[in-house]
Chain A
Amino acid sequence: MQNVSFLLFFEFIKIGLFTFGGGYASLPFLYRISEIYNWYSYSELTQMIAISGLTPGPIGLNMSTFAGFKTLGITGALIAGVGLILPMFVITTQVFRIYRKFSDNKYVNSILYFLRPTSCALITYVGYKLVYSLILKNSFSLANIDLKALFILLILFICTLKIGRNPVKYMAIGACISLLINYIKL
């Protein structure tokens, strides 16, 4: 138990330190945790992403406290939250004094030139794993494709042309179609 809380703290310090580019950028790390330790399963992680989008607060913080909760209850949530925030507190208060020079610095910009595609690729990988598990049902054979899931996904993709990026709307539409299919037996 003590060992797990220490590991948890360390893992979330890593997330606070190495996440660049917004809330979803912490996903690759949370995904890796679910792979290495048995703290929560991949499907639980998917649920965490959904609920974090529906709950007030920054999505990255919500996912992390949720993951900590899954691991060690409320203590775990506290450990994960503090671990995540600690590097930010230290770094950001230090950067304040030089922030005017900071975003113009050529090294900062050169590093970001590489970091941005890296974040993008890491999130894309999580998206790919999600499609692989939810739509393809963990195999590359056509026979295993979940047609109901594929149908919902296609409708939601069409919706992206119309309804912007409010996550609540997408989840509501996804839930409604799923219920309709289940209860009307289309």
Chain B
Amino acid sequence: MLVSLFEIFKAFFKIGAILLGGGYVIVPIMNDELVKKRNWLSSDEVLDYYCVSQCLSGIIAINMAILVGYKLRKTRGAFVSLLAMTLSPFISIMLIANAIELITNIPFIESVFYGVNIAVIVLIYLAIKDIWNKSIVDKLSALWFLLIFLLSVLKINPVILILASILSGIVLQKIKDIKNAKC
């Protein structure tokens, strides 16, 4: 039986509203909302979608929403899940962004943000730590990390660095293929 677009909207509106604290919590939330409560997909599929979304460009949680929506109702389903998922974050950011402009000059709030901004350093450190183990796996990847960091310090556009990485990946695989063919 087809899941109605309205049902998809309701489910993803809720997921967008309760998702807090980065993309990592999306897997347990989808397991709760989509696998256990609605039985729209299996928990294996959730994990599969998570793996694919990590390989794709963009935001992991949103890519996962698009994949689930597409599975349920093709392009229209993907569009609805995407729209529903982004709606409440968008509204909350608009409300908060407006409010922030009004209160930032109050000394108390300034002091709060002084501390909060320093916490951001720690959050970035935690984000780096999370991907570090997956990304620095051998000497070449460590060397590549250093090279990209140095090029960033020299203010090279990150787009160029990303494109160079994609190209290097393709070239390395081609070289491996040629070597294997010779053996």
Residues on A close to B: CB < 8 A?
14, 16-24, 26-29, 32, 35, 43, 46-47, 49-53, 55-62, 65-66, 69-70, 74, 77, 81, 84-85, 87-89, 91-93, 95-96, 99-100, 102-103, 106-108, 110-127, 130-131, 134-135, 149, 152-153, 156-157, 159-160, 165-168, 170-171, 173-179, 182-183
Check B21–A166 contact: CB distance below 8 A.
Answer: yes
Chain B 133-161 near chain A by CB (<8 Å), digits 1 or 0 = 01111000110111111001101011101
Across the two chains, which residue of chain B brings its CB closest to A64? B59
| Chain B stretch 76-130: residues in CB contact (< 8 A) with chain A | 78-79, 82, 85-86, 88-90, 92-94, 96-97, 100, 104, 108, 111-128, 130
Name the residue on A nearest B71 (C-beta): A96
User: Is B2 on the interface with A (CB-CB < 8 A)?
Assistant: no
Out of B17, B54, B100, B159, which one reaches A21, CB within 8 Å? Answer: B54
30 A-B pairs, CB-CB below 8 angstroms?
A24-B127, A47-B116, A51-B96, A55-B96, A56-B17, A56-B88, A58-B22, A58-B59, A60-B23, A60-B59, A61-B62, A70-B97, A88-B66, A96-B70, A102-B55, A108-B55, A114-B165, A115-B165, A119-B135, A121-B144, A121-B147, A123-B124, A123-B127, A123-B131, A130-B120, A130-B121, A135-B121, A165-B24, A167-B123, A175-B115
Closest CB-CB distance, B57 to chain A, in whole Å? 6
Q: Would you call B135 and A120 a contact (CB within 8 A)?
A: yes
Looking at chain B's contact residues, the main secondary structure is helix
> Whole-angstrom distance between the alpha carbons of A81 and B59 in the complex?
12
- Known A-B contacts A19-B57, A93-B75, A96-B70; the reply to A117 vs B136 at CB < 8 A is yes
Closest to B149 in A: A121
Residue of B nearest to A156 (CB): B122
Contacts of B152 in A (CB 8 A): 28, 121-122, 125
Chain A CB within 8 A of B60 CB: yes
The stretch of B3-11, B34-42, B168-176 that contacts the partner chain: B168-176
User: How many interface residues does chain B have, given as a range?
Assistant: 35 or more
Query: CB-CB < 8 A to B49: which residues of A?
Result: 99
Across the A-B interface, how many residue pairs have beta carbons closer than 8 Å?
Answer: 339
